[in-house]
Amino acid sequence: MDGPAAGGARGRSTEDVRRHNLRALLGLVHTRGGATRAEVTRELGLNRSTTGTLVGALVEAGLLVEQAPVDQAPGRVGRPSLEVRPRDGGAEVLAGYVDVHAVQVVRVGLGGVVRGRRTVATPAPPSPERAAEVLAGAAAALLAESPPGLLAGVGVAVPGLVRAGDGVIAHAPNLDWRDVPLAALVTTALEDATGHRLRVDVANDADLGLLAEHRRGAAAGLTDVVYLCGTHGLGGGVLTGGHPLTGHRGYAGEVGHVSVDPDGRACRCGSRGCWESETLAAAWAEPFGLDGDAPDLADLVLARLAAGGVVSRRTRDKLSRAFARGLANIVHLFDPQAVVLGEGLWHRLWPEVREDVMPWVDRLVMPAMRAGVSVRTSALGEGSTVLGAAELALTPLLEDPLGPLAVDRERAPAVLRA
Amino acid sequence: MDGPAAGGARGRSTEDVRRHNLRALLGLVHTRGGATRAEVTRELGLNRSTTGTLVGALVEAGLLVEQAPVDQAPGRVGRPSLEVRPRDGGAEVLAGYVDVHAVQVVRVGLGGVVRGRRTVATPAPPSPERAAEVLAGAAAALLAESPPGLLAGVGVAVPGLVRAGDGVIAHAPNLDWRDVPLAALVTTALEDATGHRLRVDVANDADLGLLAEHRRGAAAGLTDVVYLCGTHGLGGGVLTGGHPLTGHRGYAGEVGHVSVDPDGRACRCGSRGCWESETLAAAWAEPFGLDGDAPDLADLVLARLAAGGVVSRRTRDKLSRAFARGLANIVHLFDPQAVVLGEGLWHRLWPEVREDVMPWVDRLVMPAMRAGVSVRTSALGEGSTVLGAAELALTPLLEDPLGPLAVDRERAPAVLRA
């Protein structure tokens, strides 16, 4: 990121500088949850009067408030230093996660505060139309609880290849979707369900989990990270040199579809022996005689592991080793500071299998590359993906806080303002 | 890259703008080999008098000349448009490539013109000291042919993990080197052999092959590319979103050490079934009864393939499929526009095996990701790595054309100037 007071690379006007500084200020408050004027002044390298003007503009716009810090020590002597915080009932977004067995929707305010959450189970992988309808219904129910201030947009996470530029889902193997214009479907369904036409952005679930963990979770402050997630499919999001790895069309980072065994089982992607098919749902379900499509597969596997026995031991050893081989591949490919296990099967199993996996990682990674790489679980737990979708939806507002309501009017001309 | 006339992100002075424009001008002439003032003015978005001043400064510094284009049509009517070109006898660099069986050294002028080349065979993989000595001896012999103008630096390519920052080779499995400060060794050896203390930069061979192919070869104009090279080891260099993938410490892109077969052969990296060990020297040599360490292995393999027969057919099929699986992995990981086969075994074999490999790539890559990815051989042929080392050595000069002779005086206080 550029220094807070610096403009872009192509010359700058007073207005550019102001926009840049507003962005830096709102970003700081959003990431941190709150900051005093003195902290803002110091950390953004501004002078005090500039900070005052910028805070005033964002307060006036209804995005921030200034108030005594919530954790002000009682009995403290002297006037409390006011804290700049997101305004309750200020800017919010809706975020959804369409997965194989459920559609999640959350309502999230600036500052990352979750204001409501719905999860709707879908017995079979939903069709695109069904997914949009379920998502819109849950969103309408959440909005009915209390009117939002500024509804800045909608973000949707999907386990699949999402094309950069137009957000079309080129292929989602585990949903069996191809060439789905999901943003358009969700926009229409939301308009039907809520009466509001909102901007909808769609992205890959792992890329969004990474975004959330990078903004306020297990990857905060890091520049080189690989994020993994999923139970029935293994998604990957990669941060390299501080930038998300997107590839030419936005499809990069499909670490689950690295083929690691020429004699392995058939994968839903059409290949064979992928890291996904060798270490995720089917691979765990088969030896235990479980249904690989079961929504609660992680619980079932954990119960089998707890029960112990020969099958349990053999399965744990074999899959721990296979997972470690994939982790070693990731280290060799990306030289990361950390691999983050986000929501999904391996995140759930990790406390149980960590001690089996890590010695293999130590053994398989070239020693020069092994040192300094940590494997850790996500800090946001099972919620990182949908929180990442919320961060996606907030991005236009964060980029241009006093811009055209952070809305691309071509795509979604109306927004809700109290 | 920034626009030619724009400064950095943190405010800019007249001097910054001048330096930026000098850099843009020298970069254009270097990449293109030559350009008229009118082309420079148009392509860099400058005005004519600025172009004149900048060209004048670089001519005066001895870096460029203005002359009639070499391909000026005879008998053409009117005054020929003068072309700005690198000056013969102007800035040059030395570049080396230390590989398992040979040390190559080239002398390269601004504009990428090769002014001399030496290759010294090394019967066994050389020790670091021996490699530095051979490289310095060949460099001295090349310099003895004619005195250079400005010797701007030395670049060295090595098949191994090169640490960003200090250039120490953390591990080069096929040379059996660990923690080797090669830049320091080469600096001393060059001083002994030539009397000159020069700046020496070291980088991974595949990263440098990619740099050369991107600057003037098969990857020119692309933003997302994976470059592969090697005969006894398989190196990878990755360009993503226009930036080289380096990872946290500079070790990223080790695509050769992605483990693709749990039952595969032991790899020199310490793991098993790596893409390198499954598809490079040993994998081809074994079925044909050849010596996997033979320097001319590619010739020997091609002769066996030409002779045909059952072993030939089976070997070709098996290894083509294994190589295709690795290519599919690369597409799934990086979503590139092109995979470039740089110097080494697969580059040599490609005309022979292409028709065997590509149908497997078509079959193994998810259809949505397959379209639009090409697999091509390098345009610079067997020389891309060492030419990339020359580009590395030229980088400081290109970054700051009239700076302190493009030399880091702390590290290398003296340079040669005619």
Segment B291-329, tens digit of pLDDT: 999 999 999 999 999 999 999 999 999 999 999 999 999
What domains does chain A contain, in order, with CATH numbers?
Answer: 14-86 (1.10.10.10), 91-207+383-417 (3.30.420.40), 220-378 (3.30.420.40)
Which pLDDT tens digit goes with each residue over B244-267? 999 999 999 999 999 999 999 999
CA distance B412 to A255: 43
Q: Looking at beta carbons, which residues of chain B come within 8 Å of A252?
A: 224, 240, 333-335
Q: What is the pLDDT of residue A68?
A: 81
Question: Does the beta carbon of B170 lie under 8 angstroms from any beta carbon of chain A?
Answer: yes
| Contact assignment for B335 to A369 by CB distance below 8 Å | no
Q: What is the pLDDT of residue B411?
A: 36
Q: What is the pLDDT of residue A406?
A: 40
Q: Which chain A residue has its CA at the smallest distance from B324's CA? A: A259
- pLDDT for B106 beyond 70: yes
Note which residues in 198-257 of chain A have CB less than 8 A from chain B.
223-224, 240-241, 243, 245-255, 257
Confidence band (pLDDT; 50, 70, 90) for A270? confident
- pLDDT for B71 beyond 80: no
- Determine how many CB atoms are found less than 10 A away from the CB of residue A88: 12
* Structure-token match 């691979």, residue found: A283
DSSP A381: G
Q: How far is CA B290 from CA A282, B275, B348, in A?
A: 42, 20, 17
User: pLDDT: is A45 or A79 the higher one?
Assistant: A45
| Contact assignment for A333 to B333 by CB distance below 8 Å | yes
Q: Which chain A residue has its CA at the smallest distance from B262's CA? A: A261
- Determine how many CB atoms are found less than 10 A away from the CB of residue B71: 7
Q: Looking at beta carbons, which residues of chain B come within 8 Å of A3?
A: 9-10
Counted across chains A and B, CB pairs separated by less than 8 A come out at: 177
How close B163 gets to chain A, by Cα (Å)? 10
Q: What is the pLDDT of residue A165?
A: 87
Q: Which residues contact B136 (CB under 8 A, 6 or more apart)?
A: B186, B189, B190, B192, B193, B194
Q: What is the pLDDT of residue A412?
A: 37
Which pLDDT tens digit goes with each residue over A331-358? 999 999 999 999 999 999 999 999 999 9
Cα Rg, chain A, nearest whole Å = 23
- CB nearest to A328's CB, from B173, B259, B363: B259
Q: Which of A172-176, A247-251, B400-404 has the lowest mean pLDDT?
A: B400-404
Q: What is the pLDDT of residue B12?
A: 64
Which pLDDT tens digit goes with each residue over A83-135? 999 998 899 999 999 999 999 999 999 999 999 999 999 989 999 999 999 99
CA distance A110 to A203: 20
Mean pLDDT computed over every residue of chain A: 90
DSSP B405: T
Question: Does the beta carbon of B16 lie under 8 angstroms from any beta carbon of chain A?
Answer: no
Q: What is the mean pLDDT of residues B161-171?
A: 94
| Contact assignment for A224 to B247 by CB distance below 8 Å | yes
| Contact assignment for B246 to A240 by CB distance below 8 Å | yes
Cβ pair B273, B260 in contact under 8 A: yes
Q: Looking at beta carbons, which residues of chain B come within 8 Å of A322?
A: 262
- pLDDT for B9 beyond 50: no
Q: Which of A184-193, A407-416, B134-143 has the lowest mean pLDDT?
A: A407-416
Q: How much of chain A exceeds pLDDT 90, in percent? A: 82
How close A1 gets to chain B, by Cα (Å)? 10
Q: What is the mean pLDDT of residues A277-286?
A: 96
Q: Which chain B residue has its CA at the smallest distance from A255's CA? A: B333
Q: What is the pLDDT of residue A391?
A: 97
Rounded to 10 degrees, what is the CA torsion of B293, B295, B297, B302? Answer: 180
Mean pLDDT computed over every residue of chain B: 90
Q: What is the mean pLDDT of residues A387-392?
A: 98
Q: What is the pLDDT of residue A78?
A: 64
- CB nearest to B223's CB, from A248, A261, A336: A248
Question: Does the beta carbon of A319 lie under 8 angstroms from any beta carbon of chain B?
Answer: no
| Contact assignment for A271 to B337 by CB distance below 8 Å | no
CA distance B34 to B37: 10
Q: What is the pLDDT of residue A72?
A: 56
Q: How far is CA A359 from CA A308, A328, B379, in A?
A: 21, 11, 43
